[in-house]
């Protein structure tokens, strides 16, 4: 018998615009939490069953998990805790050390805000995270999702974090055919209605786990889903078609030039990018501004760190950011006394690992080292 028939009369799931009635909500909560108690993922930042979550662990993991997969984050999380086991340790660390440890996670503004937030927690809150969504939202790098995740998971508050996994579960459970991102408020409202007053954090993590392991974007495992009997998309054969998404606009391509400058001591010039903006505060091989247009990478002399004979190296360095593709031409130059005239960091090739180079700049270094030897001045 269909499980919806076992619910009290006229209590099956209703269209999204109608409130979720109590018996349906309670049955839903029992199914979700019962599944979670048996099948929860074991993640290094999660508290063991029956134990209280560590707010520092929850916060650190949630910041790392923004735009990054669980599989990638695990090793970084464990390494951060090994170096900085408490929020006070992170707050007292030099920013460059934090940026260096963050290499490979991308979105480096997260690392800068992480460090800034840690300092604020220590100086303004005596090392204790505030426990309400409203207070958490004041902190650097914490938006509505992270504030709700911390409030519910770390402090047991009734709050509703909604990530991509939860959006997918809600869209399918209620057969929401409106496309994302327009459907986000509706999906958030549904998630809020279903969130229980008790174990709100476990409920959120349960939906995340269901979305990550069962209600996956493709090839959903509806036959083993604890919500299958109440899932409108499954009943209508729409699971793999939801949620719908608006067609993405093609990413534009920006172009620029990177300047590989070697002095007479065989040191290479590096510099720190401005604090604000993409890759803010990171170390880079000096580069021009990145502009759209085929001729954007040809403005070599105007933006070069010094005037010298620059030689174009073969090929380009390609990298993709969230909102655009990047192509960097690399030019090589030599100098003698420039070390005393040019602002920046002069670095031997064996010292690159000591600096927080973002992935795109590691590609520039590899490209230059490969081709500069073949094209000596």
| 9-241 placed in CATH 1.10.10.10 | no
Taking CB atoms within 8 Å and a gap of at least 24, the contacts of 235-238 are: 236/175, 238/172, 238/175, 238/177
**Full-model pTM:** 0.79
Residues 161, 148 contacting (CB under 8 angstroms): yes
Give the burial string for 101-127 (b: 16+ CB within 10 Å, else e).
bbbebbbbbbbbebbebbbebbeeeee
Residue 57 above 50 pLDDT? yes
Annotated active-site residue in 62, 133, 167, 284: 62
pLDDT tens, position by position, 62-116: 999 998 899 999 999 999 999 999 999 999 999 989 998 998 888 888 999 999 9
> What is the per-residue pLDDT for 17?
52
> What is the per-residue pLDDT for 287?
93
How many angstroms separate the CA atoms of 47 and 58, rounded? 9
pLDDT tens, position by position, 235-272: 999 999 999 998 888 999 999 999 999 988 888 999 98
The top-level CATH class assigned to 253-372 is alpha beta
133 is catalytic: no
Parse the chain into domains and list their residue ranges.
Answer: 9-241, 253-372
Same fold, 9-241 and 253-372: no
* Average pLDDT score over residue span 211-240: 94
Residue 1 above 50 pLDDT? no
């Amino acid at each position: 018998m269909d499980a919806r028939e076992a619910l009290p009369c006229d209590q099956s799931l209703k269209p999204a615009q109608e409130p979720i009635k109590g018996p349906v909500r309670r049955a839903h909560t029992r199914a979700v939490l019962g599944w979670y108690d048996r099948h929860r993922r074991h993640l290094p930042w999660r508290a063991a069953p029956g134990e209280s979550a560590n707010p520092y662990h929850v916060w650190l993991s949630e910041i790392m998990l923004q735009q990054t997969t669980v599989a990638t984050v695990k090793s970084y999380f464990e390494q951060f805790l090994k170096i900085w086991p408490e929020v006070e340790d992170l707050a007292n660390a030099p920013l460059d050390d934090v940026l260096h440890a963050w290499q490979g996670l991308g979105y480096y503004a997260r690392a800068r805000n992480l460090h800034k937030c840690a300092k604020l927690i220590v100086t303004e809150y005596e090392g204790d995270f505030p426990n309400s969504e409203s207070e958490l939202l004041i902190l650097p790098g914490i938006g509505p999702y992270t504030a709700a995740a911390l409030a519910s998971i770390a402090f047991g508050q009734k709050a509703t974090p909604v990530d991509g996994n939860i959006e997918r579960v809600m869209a399918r459970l209620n057969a929401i055919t409106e496309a994302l991102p327009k459907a986000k408020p509706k999906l958030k409202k549904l998630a809020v209605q279903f969130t229980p007053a008790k174990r709100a954090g476990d409920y959120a993590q349960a939906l995340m786990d269901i979305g990550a392991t069962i209600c996956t974007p493709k090839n959903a495992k509806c036959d083993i889903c604890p919500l299958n009997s109440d899932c409108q998309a499954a009943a209508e054969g729409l699971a793999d078609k939801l949620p719908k998404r608006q067609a993405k606009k093609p990413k534009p391509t920006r172009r620029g030039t990177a300047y590989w400058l070697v002095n007479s001591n065989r040191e290479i010039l590096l510099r720190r990018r401005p604090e604000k903006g993409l890759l803010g505060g990171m170390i880079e091989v000096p580069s021009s501004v990145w502009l759209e247009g085929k001729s954007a990478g040809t403005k070599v002399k105007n933006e070069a760190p010094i005037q010298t004979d620059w030689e174009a190296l073969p090929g380009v360095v390609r990298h993709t950011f969230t909102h655009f593709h990047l192509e960097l031409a690399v030019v090589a130059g030599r100098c003698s006394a420039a070390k005393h005239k040019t602002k920046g960091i002069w670095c031997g090739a064996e010292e690159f690992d000591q600096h927080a180079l973002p992935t795109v700049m590691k590609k520039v270094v590899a490209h230059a080292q490969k081709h500069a030897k073949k094209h000596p001045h």
